[in-house]
Chains A and B, each alone.
Chain A
């Protein structure tokens, strides 16, 4: 697992957006071989989406051959409610870029049969060949997507009841009224996220510091579901200084030193590619 520590949230957003840009560009997606991206919602990825839109406007990034899968969606919230995750993704990303509507996949919280919706979602992911890069955030209780503490670490896409803490945290988007917040959500499972070929978690702010510490310094634990990333062959966490407040100084120093070496290696024409593979001859993939 890589832990990249940046100074502030703006730097986190910049780094993550640049990484996504570099990955997609290096992958060079085509209609036959599209880039499958998993996307989160919430406050963490907003800056990342802004930067991605800026890259698109400068002509550096096209979403034409990108297929996206979102992590979650509320149940029985109208699709065009301003707080639905459909609206969030529309306002923050899809509106501004050239992604094809058929390539956008978001769980439908108003489907007639929610369980079928979940199993079909898993099938759709498998049908496009699995997710290449899954972006994600983390909750203060260490959850990924809506996989609240206690969720099975091998879970798949399913209906989840939201924890009271999550409802309180989300009430700020619903006029501060906890009764207005939906109580059920559809979410990808921990297993679904970890099945992706690469996972990148964005962790920012002091409020997430404890969760980050529990997830990377202690064991794999279903009470802190992001800790499943410890078992992922290509996991990455991008965080800012505030989020490291609960980590051991030794941990922070260690990861900073590794990244220093890594950044020296992954330059243009270097021996190591973004996917970590060593290039044996200059200019070849």
Chain B
């Protein structure tokens, strides 16, 4: 990188891996020419599969991006001077060639938005017609004492050159709930199914909006799409039913959109191994984003490693423990369990035999979030489970030991005394239908640990349709009232029929929090808890364009709102 010629050292930052290599100046040239030779072949393969259609590589959440974020966290400055070379592929009728543009910029170090660097890299002189194919960045670290050096591979981040030809839509004259806070009189820009940083486009590549949606007629608020991390079925469909599992998922994904839910984890109640072996691969196959449907995240497996005494509506014949540890999990769920991203959350009772070791194993081997639920664990057991790697509690209050002042049980995890407790408070799901937990209990939990509150519906097939009798896995359930469903012949609650907007409204009414905070419990918190905060839940640039436009507010009652429009992947779904 000859541009910063006055610097004694340059570090090459590999934007994909976040690793740096200190390179002496004179060897730059040889390295560069080698790289450009290998790079041209890489680019050729990359253009064959545009990033937009590539669901498997998400640059925001890859291990590489995480490393880069860690790297930037270590920089004790507000901004760094970078010089970058961007390669553009120029297409002519009979041949194509690579041009390279050198440029430099002073870029802010914003750990939460590493991809902003690529947004900001543009050629100084010749304004390109397209965004660059690949960008290599050299970081000027000569004036820092930073000596961290790691060997970096040569892959660079490829940005999609198709993106720049896509339509930009600007939503204006509204408020936006961005990164958990309401920004008044703001605009939201969407391109290629993602939220984009408008100032960077406006100033950097002279991109203005192709379409302007003016929401000024009514007072409007744009919020991220809601995430439902625990949903067993809906509209008469049960996810634990093997016959029509594929169609069931489609039907639910389509139907949930009108409630503002744009992503969900299909949840499976305790079942026999055959069911998991059949259903999990199909759910995994259905993952991803499709037009007009909520995105299917990985499965939430609730059971069968649960305590019998706290089974709730689960089938007791399926429950078991794991004396052989991880091997038992694998045998029960089948090989799809180990497929990356197929399973998002696993609910277990940590006091059962072998489960503590399983939790530790899972933390090492996979990204699966371990959640505690249907458990007789004491507070000490629960705390040990969190120390071992559990980060969530499934439907707090339900199917667990009740709060006792000398042994608060799993509920005590929202307390976590500063002096005695070795763990951080976990996230916790709350079914805010007013039935599963008394409003006062919800308020106590929320006040104790507001940032951990995750709204879930735990809805079942009976939700969203008429009728009295449904199945929940192998159990028969009956609609007892407009808000309650129970195991047939008992009064044991079996999931719920609540909608996510109702949960949000209830949270405001029960706890007195603001509407923005309640919506955060359905967006930011769940996205953070399952590690997809870089894709969902914040409306920050680079995240998916899944959002809901709310209006119909009432000045006297802050919990009132109505859903006017829902966008999935930048396209209008409702």
| Interface residues, chain A, with chain B CB atoms under 8 Å away | 57, 76-81, 86-87, 90, 94-96, 98, 100-102, 104, 106, 110-112, 180
Contact = CB atoms under 8 A, between A and B. Distances in A.
B199 A80 contact: yes
A75 to B, nearest CB: 9
Contact of A80 (B78, B108, B173): B108
Contacts of A77: 79, 106
Contacts of B201: 101
A78 B187 contact: no
Nearest to B81: A76
A102 B208 CA distance: 9
Contact of B202 (A76, A98, A104): A104
A80 B108 CA distance: 8
B172 interface: yes
A1 B197 CA distance: 43
B104 interface: yes
B106 to A, nearest CB: 5
Contact of B79 (A81, A95, A112): A81
B124 A112 contact: yes
Contacts of B108: 78, 80-81
A95 B198 contact: yes
B120 interface: yes
18 contacts: A78-B79, A78-B106, A79-B106, A80-B108, A80-B120, A80-B200, A81-B78, A87-B199, A90-B198, A90-B202, A96-B172, A96-B185, A96-B187, A104-B203, A106-B203, A110-B105, A110-B106, A112-B124
B105 A101 contact: no
A93 to B, nearest CB: 11
Nearest to B205: A101
Q: Most chain-A Cβ atoms within 10 A of its Cβ — which of B78, B108, B186?
A: B108
Interface residues of B, number: 29
B218 to A, nearest CB: 14
Q: Most chain-A Cβ atoms within 10 A of its Cβ — which of B124, B187, B199, B216?
A: B199
The dominant DSSP class at the A interface is loop
A97 to B, nearest CB: 9
A100 B105 CA distance: 23
Contacts of B116: 80
Given A80-B108, A80-B200, A101-B208, A111 B79 contact: no
A96 B216 CA distance: 12
B206 A102 contact: yes
Interface string B201-213: 1111011100010
Nearest to A101: B206
Q: Most chain-A Cβ atoms within 10 A of its Cβ — which of B200, B206, B208, B212?
A: B208
B3 interface: yes
The 8 residue pairs across chains A and B that have the minimum distance between CB atoms: A101-B206, A78-B108, A90-B199, A110-B106, A101-B202, A101-B208, A78-B79, A102-B206
Nearest to A109: B106
A148 B120 CA distance: 32
Contact of A100 (B104, B198, B208, B216): B208
A112 B120 contact: no
Contacts of A100: 208
Interface in B206-244: 206-208, 212, 216
Contacts of B172: 95-96
B322 interface: no
A46 to B, nearest CB: 13
Contact of A101 (B79, B173, B203): B203
A13 B211 CA distance: 31
A52 to B, nearest CB: 14
A104 B78 CA distance: 27
B202 A78 contact: no
A179 to B, nearest CB: 11
A189 B486 CA distance: 78
Nearest to B109: A78
Contacts of B207: 101
Contacts of A78: 79, 105-108
Nearest to A110: B106
Contacts of B198: 90, 95
Contacts of A102: 206
Contacts of B79: 77-78, 81
Contacts of A110: 104-106
Given A90-B198, A90-B202, A104-B202, A57 B124 contact: no
Contacts of A76: 106
A77 B81 CA distance: 10
Given A78-B79, A78-B107, A95-B187, A57 B203 contact: no
Contacts of A80: 108, 116, 120, 197, 199-200
A174 to B, nearest CB: 10
Given A78-B79, A110-B105, A57 B202 contact: no
Nearest to B197: A80
A111 B124 contact: yes
Interface in B461-506: none
Nearest to A94: B202
